[in-house]
């Protein structure tokens, strides 16, 4: 399986079941993702113990990567964090944390106004307690209450034991799924996760997945094999095109009781299709009359397709990505769309007039020419049938706009 995950993203301290201790794990992905600023959820990551090479699969949303803007569920601890209004604040030995509405200081005291969810706010006075450096500036997960929310890498505070630590993984002890926490004194704590997020037994998850795929993909799912383990669904087999592959993957990722899916499905090669043919069919699609796209670029390399295009926001081509994903020969696809509001487009009147003029010019019959003003130049895109037509279109535009900033990207087909 390691070969299927060629890109090393980072290393992370995690609990290794084979070593029975916390070790450095290398995290590998199937694409060269960046973890800077967080990661999309449900991306499978292969975690490999750097001591014994034991591997497990986890998902991007099970880790706390770098800086996340979403701190709503983290709690600050009095004496360990700097506090601001809007923070959850916990005083050691309290029953639960409160939400800080305001805070102020006197010469020797800090005063907090908190709400604990009741009708009346509470005012708490404490001795002044300056915090010089914060171990976890964003706050902590409060254990055991927040065990279901805790991500690998999260700083935690165990309220009953009054110890701090870091979450280092999930394990199954043969009966229950547990969160593993390494405490500051290096001891390990295994906290049983709530029933609602315990992984389903393999047979049950496997049946659920099969039934769901049969229901939504009656034809295609006959060629897809389903294997499950630890709440993870592994898909293999051959499917018709990238669009189906994505839809099946999304369907499994949408199942509430599955942690995520690892997609090993391949696209059936009906007949050999060259990159050049794929590129041509995408360009023809982009040059469908009525589609208001411009400044488009298509790159195809061994079935990996990258498309970038501009569009007018009011005419956003919603279906374009799924249509491209249906083309045979498209194995991977990335579409970037730059959508510009209609009233921010420049020189639209002259562009529309030019398009009309060109479309009724008998010497340009059967061509499709789009004119847009993009990046401070007139951009000609579309298709004609000869070099003479290409030059003629250019001449018509130059004569009309009296500008030299014209780019002629017309294709001769």
Footprint of Zn ion on this chain (CB under 5 A)?
16, 18-19, 49, 51-52, 54
What is the nearest approach in angstroms of Zn ion to the Cβ of residue 25? 8
φ/ψ of 329, rounded to 5, equals 95, -15
In the bound state with Zn ion, the residue whose beta carbon lies nearer, of 18 and 123, is 18
What is the nearest approach in angstroms of Zn ion to the Cβ of residue 275? 42
Q: Which two tokens stand for residue 246?
A: 């994505």
**126 in Cβ contact with 80 (< 8 Å):** no
In the bound state with Zn ion, the residue whose beta carbon lies nearer, of 18 and 96, is 18
CA distance 108 to 235: 62
In the bound state with Zn ion, the residue whose beta carbon lies nearer, of 16 and 282, is 16
In the bound state with Zn ion, the residue whose beta carbon lies nearer, of 16 and 47, is 16
What is the nearest approach in angstroms of Zn ion to the Cβ of residue 16? 3
**How many other CB atoms are found less than 10 A from the CB of residue 171?**
17
In the bound state with Zn ion, the residue whose beta carbon lies nearer, of 22 and 193, is 22
**How many other CB atoms are found less than 10 A from the CB of residue 50?**
13
| Burial of residue 182 (number of CB atoms within 10 Å: 0-12, 13-18, 19+) | buried
φ/ψ of 372, rounded to 5, equals -140, 150
- CB within 8 Å of 308: residues ≥ 6 apart: 295, 296, 297, 335, 336, 337, 338
What is the nearest approach in angstroms of Zn ion to the Cβ of residue 178? 18
In the bound state with Zn ion, the residue whose beta carbon lies nearer, of 15 and 217, is 15
What is the nearest approach in angstroms of Zn ion to the Cβ of residue 99? 41
What is the nearest approach in angstroms of Zn ion to the Cβ of residue 198? 24
Q: Which two tokens stand for residue 152?
A: 């690998």
In the bound state with Zn ion, the residue whose beta carbon lies nearer, of 51 and 214, is 51
Nearest to 38 by CA among 68, 9, 8: 68
In a 3-state reduction of DSSP, which class is residue 227?
strand
What is the nearest approach in angstroms of Zn ion to the Cβ of residue 66? 25
What is the nearest approach in angstroms of Zn ion to the Cβ of residue 228? 24
The β-bridge relationship of strands 266-267 and 260-263 is unpaired
> Which helix (H) or strand (E) is 109 found in, with range?
strand 109-115
In the bound state with Zn ion, the residue whose beta carbon lies nearer, of 12 and 389, is 12
Q: How many CA atoms lie within 13 A of 130 on its CB side?
A: 4
């Amino acid at each position: 399986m390691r070969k299927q995950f060629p890109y090393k993203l980072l290393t992370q301290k995690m609990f290794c079941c084979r070593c029975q201790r916390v070790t450095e794990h290398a995290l590998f992905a199937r694409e060269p993702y960046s973890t800077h600023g967080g990661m999309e959820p449900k991306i499978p990551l292969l975690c490999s113990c750097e001591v014994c090479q034991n591997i497990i699969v986890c998902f991007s949303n099970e880790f706390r990567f770098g800086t996340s803007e979403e701190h709503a569920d983290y709690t600050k601890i009095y004496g360990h964090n700097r506090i601001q209004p809007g923070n959850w604040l916990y005083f050691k030995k309290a029953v639960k944390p409160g939400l800080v509405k305001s805070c102020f200081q006197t010469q020797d005291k800090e005063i907090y106004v908190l709400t604990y969810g009741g009708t009346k706010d509470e005012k708490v006075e404490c001795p002044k307690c300056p915090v010089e450096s914060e171990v976890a500036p964003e706050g902590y997960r409060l254990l055991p209450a927040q065990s279901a929310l805790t991500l690998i890498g999260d700083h935690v505070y165990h309220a009953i034991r009054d110890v701090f630590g870091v979450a280092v993984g999930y394990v199954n002890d043969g009966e229950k799924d547990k969160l593993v926490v390494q405490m500051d004194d290096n001891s390990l704590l295994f906290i049983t996760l709530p029933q609602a997020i315990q992984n389903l037994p393999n047979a049950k998850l496997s049946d659920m997945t099969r039934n769901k795929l049969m229901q939504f993909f009656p034809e295609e799912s006959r060629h897809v094999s389903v294997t499950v383990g630890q709440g993870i669904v592994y898909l293999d087999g051959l499917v018709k095109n990238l669009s189906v592959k994505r839809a099946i993957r999304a369907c499994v990722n949408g199942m509430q009781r599955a942690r995520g899916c690892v997609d090993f499905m391949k696209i059936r090669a009906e007949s050999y299709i060259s990159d050049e043919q794929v590129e041509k069919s995408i360009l023809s699609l982009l040059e469908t009359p009525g589609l208001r796209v411009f400044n488009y670029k298509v790159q195809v390399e061994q079935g990996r397709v990258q498309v970038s295009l501009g569009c007018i926001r009011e005419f956003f081509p919603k279906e374009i990505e799924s249509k491209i994903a249906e083309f045979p020969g498209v194995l991977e696809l990335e579409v970037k769309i730059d959508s510009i509001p209609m009233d921010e487009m420049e020189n639209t009147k002259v562009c529309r007039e030019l398009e009309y003029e060109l479309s009724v010019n008998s010497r340009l019959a059967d061509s499709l020419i789009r004119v847009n003003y993009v990046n401070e130049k007139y951009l000609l895109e579309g298709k004609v049938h000869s070099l003479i037509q290409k030059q003629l279109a250019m001449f018509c535009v130059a004569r009309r706009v009296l500008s030299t900033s014209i780019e002629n990207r017309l294709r001769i087909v």
